A and B are shown apart, each in its own frame.
Chain A
Amino acid sequence: MTQPKKKRILLVEDEENLRLLYQEELDKDGYDVTAAGDADEALAALRGGGFDLIITDIRMPGKDGIELITQIMGQRRDIPIIINSAYQSYKDDFMTWAADAYVVKSSSLDELKSRVKELLGS
């Protein structure tokens, strides 16, 4: 019996500890997670292709999450995107509407996980 192919998630989070936390938690839920520390790393990883979902922070040094989404939209509109930000207020920025879900960071990862599940249908 062959294992079903794991869904691939690109996680963009500049904060090391949070990146580790999200990576471990999503990994435990059975996803194949690639972590990027900033937007440029994320874009480089995307060029390799094969991702089923992108989770991105907004406030990051260098290019922020909104710039990242804008660039992704220009190239690949087929990959769903979840915004995972500590700020509620970016919901007012219409570029964030392009994302498929907006999660405000919380110490409970339930919401993030259920959005991931919804979007990946597994």
Chain B
Amino acid sequence: MIETQGLYLGDVERDAPKELVLLSIIAQSYFQPFSLQDNLLVILTALTSGSGVGFNRAMLFLAEGGRLKGEMWLGPATQEEARSIWEILSTPGIGYVEIVEHNRALLSRAGGTLSERIKGLSYPLGEKSLSIPSRAVERREIVHVRDARSEPAVESRFLEVIDVEAFLCIPLVVHDEPLGEIIVDNAFTRAPITEKDIKLASMCGLIAGNYIYTGAIHKKMLEMEKFAAMGEMASYITHQLRNPLVTIGGFADQLLRYEGGEDRRKSRRNLEIIRAETRRLEDIVYKLGHLLKLEQKPPAAFDPGPVLKDALADPAFRAKSKGRRIKIRLTEPMPRVMGYPSQVGEAVRNLLDNALDATPEGATIYVQATNADPRWFIVKIKDTGRGIADKDRERLFLPFFTTKENGVGLGLHFVKRIMESCGGGIEVRSRPGKGTEFRLSFIKEERGTDQ
């Protein structure tokens, strides 16, 4: 027999030691999809909640661009607010999540919140200043101020804002890197700050530092991933450009060597290859240029008939389809649909081209338009080629994904974006070895507009 339990076992008993309560509060944050801001709020909550350390107020400064800047301040703004908050929080059954929710509301309430009062506070770092509050993080030490009003080290504007005699500054430092500072006080109860309070607060400081540190690392990692993706893209594009260039250069070299003495047919063939490869380069450059540039205007109603027929009559398609059977069934009359005719034409040409690439000579491609659905007009392009492997199907529409040696990997990505910008969509069904069917769905005009 086995017994299983969730990873987190819930709140510890109310009479458990404070350290354990604190640990339990913080542990919960790891099981919530909280942002860095939320996690820091959790720390401030732990510092101020009665079941945690129980300070009246907690203030957070973050190191940013060489300065220590006021970020958030948690706690009641006045004695009355303090009383009502404690009433709420001492209600039996109020747990950690409720406290965080409450605090979040407190922070986001417009006007007069504590956080706004410290937003303008900012102190330079790295000057080994002994003034408070920056001293704690500059010197990596916890500073307990007992008589702020008569202590010259306390910076005057800070004193004006905090307006309390006794407070505690906890530096947030990871690997000797100053990350911020937390300042706590008991402005309303005026309870003295004990040795135990300081120990618990320093523990919170360590964890807050860790949150900030891992948050920064995570951000850096995402950036690096982005760079890596860009690098991969650049390497891919380089390769795509290299093959046609090699072909052009190689055949041009041959032409130069012929010097008129050689077979004219061969010269002509070389020129044709060079021209075709140049077109391919143009196509790649064109597609790259359009990667992020799609129509901004709202889609308009158009007749899909001519667009489909044009694509099927395209000389490039006709030439390439030699040796394959193309079976076309377009239901007439076709309804008007929403979209951008020129881009839809491009999308259809793209799918036809793919279908030809996948279809061996002698095999068949089906193009079918159906008007059976009241809302959608469907165009299907089906080949009887090699099909798409399961592992590739998920990545099919991603930019720069291709299974063709000379593919740029932008075609299907475009088609999808074009269809989505028209308010429609694209679906794919494929069986390896049997063929692939792409289904384009267009919104019909009568349903697409609010008439």
> What residues make up the interface of A, taking CB atoms closer than 8 Å to B?
14-15, 17-18, 20-21, 24-25, 57, 59-61, 86-87, 89, 105-109
Measured in the bound complex, the distance between the Cα atoms of B277 and A23 in whole Å is: 18
As a 0/1 sequence over residues 231 to 267 of chain B, the CB contacts with chain A under 8 angstroms (1 = contact) are: 0000100110011011111111110000000000000
Chain B residue contacts of A87, Cβ below 8 A: 235, 239
Inter-chain contact A109/B250, CB cutoff 8 Å: yes
Measured in the bound complex, the distance between the Cα atoms of B238 and A106 in whole Å is: 12
Inter-chain contact A107/B243, CB cutoff 8 Å: no
Inter-chain contact B246/A18, CB cutoff 8 Å: yes
Inter-chain contact A61/B404, CB cutoff 8 Å: yes
Instruction: Please classify the interface of chain A as helix (H, G, I), strand (E, B), loop, or mixed, using the class held by over half of its residues.
Output: loop
- Which A residue's beta carbon lies closest to that of B406? A15
Chain A residue contacts of B405, Cβ below 8 A: 14-15, 57, 59-61
Measured in the bound complex, the distance between the Cα atoms of B246 and A108 in whole Å is: 7
> What residues make up the interface of B, taking CB atoms closer than 8 Å to A?
235, 238-239, 242-243, 245-254, 273, 276-277, 403-406
Choose one: A24, A60, A86, A107; the contact of B249 (CB below 8 Å). A107
Inter-chain contact A105/B403, CB cutoff 8 Å: no
Q: List 27 A-B contacts (CB under 8 A).
A: A15-B247, A15-B405, A15-B406, A17-B247, A17-B273, A17-B276, A17-B277, A18-B247, A20-B273, A21-B246, A21-B250, A24-B254, A25-B250, A25-B254, A57-B405, A59-B239, A59-B405, A60-B405, A61-B404, A61-B405, A105-B242, A105-B243, A107-B245, A107-B248, A107-B252, A109-B250, A109-B253
Inter-chain contact B235/A105, CB cutoff 8 Å: no
Measured in the bound complex, the distance between the Cα atoms of B261 and A18 in whole Å is: 24
Inter-chain contact A86/B403, CB cutoff 8 Å: no
Chain B residue contacts of A25, Cβ below 8 A: 250, 254
Interchain nearest-CB distance for B275 vs A (Å): 11
Measured in the bound complex, the distance between the Cα atoms of B245 and A18 in whole Å is: 10
Inter-chain contact B403/A107, CB cutoff 8 Å: no
Chain A residue contacts of B249, Cβ below 8 A: 106-108
Identify the 6 closest CB pairs spanning chains A and B, nearest first: A107-B249, A86-B242, A21-B250, A86-B239, A17-B247, A14-B405
